């Protein structure tokens, strides 16, 4: 079945994406400024049709794109994923007017989207968010903060989750589409380990109306969770792509590196570690594909499968990249080395879109439901 064995045309497409990422997208990524939105790279994703496909295909296609791009250019993968995360609520829940205004710009790479859920005191506990939406003149005024928002403060619009019903927990949250030029909305860049833009947003009475609502009033938590259920397996795919790149580099290095009168691969302590790296990477890949295929079928247990896929894949990638660094030695920590880059990139996916501990909580709750 598709979750466990890809069709020949899918394998061919993945190969084409790897070539595209290495030959066409990597040079644009290298010209980008760390901590800033790379608009030429986003536009290139649009020109090559990847952003349009992002919204026209299912979860498995999304995973294949993210894994293949991550293998050769993590920056391109992240730019694609952030467009998807920020704009999926618009594509799935937006009004005809909202979709007509923003989706052509998003898929062309001319408008940069962002998903604004996390707050200084409400990261993993999304139901505890406190950005306040107070009714005003037939609409609302947003007051509060968002933090650790990818693409902020440079995005062109934000999918913002705010509290419209006090003391209602998850049932009192509404999703809004907020253009970046709304009065009262300001932002600041955060100096993070990640190479892409991450910032904070301040809302000082930002006006929104019914025309800005995504989905239904007080039902925004479902918009957020459904979006995350779609993207969590693909975070795992991103991790698998990085793990595979680290594994391939390690196989090549240990096969040619002379040590103790032979090659590194001839040392059982080394070859067994490489075997474990390969086995764990393949297991993570299969779970990611299975979760994505289940999502596309509308199968039961989507939340559990998505959480399992993200948990296993991101934890596996951390292990594989760390082991690859160990087997490469000091050269892997040189600035500009593939593994130095992956070592910095691989840490964040275990935190964002629900930390590993949150994924374990989701899985346990589903088991005991």
Q: Domains in the chain, start-ordered, CATH in brackets?
A: 8-108 (1.10.540.10), 113-218 (2.40.110.10), 222-368 (1.20.140.10)
- pTM of this structure: 0.92
Q: What are the distances in angstroms from CA 48 to CA 44, 57, 108, 185? A: 6, 15, 9, 33
Span 249-276, pLDDT tens digits: 999 999 999 888 889 999 999 999 999 9
Give pLDDT, residue 126: 66
Angle between helix axes 302-328 and 268-297 (nearest 10 degrees) is 160
Ranges in the chain, pLDDT < 70: 1-4, 123-126
Token pair, residue 253, equals 């290095």
Give pLDDT, residue 170: 79
Give pLDDT, residue 121: 83
Q: What angle do CA 318, 337, 47 make, to 5 degrees?
A: 85
Give pLDDT, residue 1: 39
Place of tokens 């397996």: 233
CA dist 190 and 210 (Å) reads 31
Give pLDDT, residue 3: 43
Give pLDDT, residue 78: 96
Task: Decide: residue 278, CB within 10 A, 0-12 exposed, 13-18 middle, 19+ buried.
Answer: middle
Token pair, residue 18, equals 């790897």
As annotated, the active-site residues are 353
Could you list the beta-strand ranges (E) of the chain.
113-116, 132-136, 139-150, 157-163, 173-179, 185-189, 198-208, 213-214, 258-259, 262-263
């Amino acid at each position: 079945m598709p979750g466990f064995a890809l069709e020949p045309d899918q394998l061919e497409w993945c190969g084409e994406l790897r070539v595209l990422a290495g030959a066409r997208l990597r040079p644009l990524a290298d010209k980008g400024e760390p901590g800033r939105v790379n608009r030429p790279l986003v536009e290139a994703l649009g020109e090559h049709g990847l952003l349009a496909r992002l919204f026209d295909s299912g979860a498995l296609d999304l995973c294949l794109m993210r894994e293949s791009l991550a293998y050769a250019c993590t920056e391109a993968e992240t730019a694609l994923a952030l467009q998807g995360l920020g704009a999926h609520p618009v594509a799935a829940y937006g009004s005809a007017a909202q979709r007509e205004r923003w989706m052509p710009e998003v898929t062309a790479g001319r408008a940069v989207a962002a998903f604004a859920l996390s707050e200084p005191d409400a990261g993993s506990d999304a139901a505890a968010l406190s950005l306040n939406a107070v009714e005003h003149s037939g609409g609302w005024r947003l007051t509060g903060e968002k933090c650790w928002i990818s693409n902020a403060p440079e995005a062109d619009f934000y999918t913002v989750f705010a509290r419209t019903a006090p003391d209602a927990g998850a049932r009192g949250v509404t999703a809004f589409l907020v253009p970046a030029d709304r009065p009262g909305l300001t932002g600041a860049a955060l100096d993070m380990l990640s190479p892409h833009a991450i910032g904070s947003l301040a809302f000082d009475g930002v006006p929104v109306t019914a025309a800005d609502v995504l989905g239904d009033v007080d039902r925004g938590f479902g918009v957020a969770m459904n979006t995350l259920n779609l993207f969590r397996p693909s975070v795992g795919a991103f991790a698998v792509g990085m793990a595979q790149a680290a594994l391939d580099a390690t196989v090549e290095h240990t096969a040619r590196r002379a040590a103790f009168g032979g090659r590194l691969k001839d040392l059982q302590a080394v070859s067994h570690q490489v075997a474990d790296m390969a086995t764990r990477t393949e297991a993570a890949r299969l779970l990611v594909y299975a979760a994505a295929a289940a999502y596309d079928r509308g199968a039961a247990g989507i939340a559990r499968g998505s959480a399992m896929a993200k948990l296993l894949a991101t934890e596996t990638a951390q292990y594989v990249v760390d082991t690859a660094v160990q087997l490469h030695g000091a050269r892997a920590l040189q600035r500009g080395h593939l593994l130095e880059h992956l070592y910095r990139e691989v840490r964040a996916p275990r935190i964002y879109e629900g930390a590993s501990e949150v994924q374990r909580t989701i899985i346990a709750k589903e088991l005991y439901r």
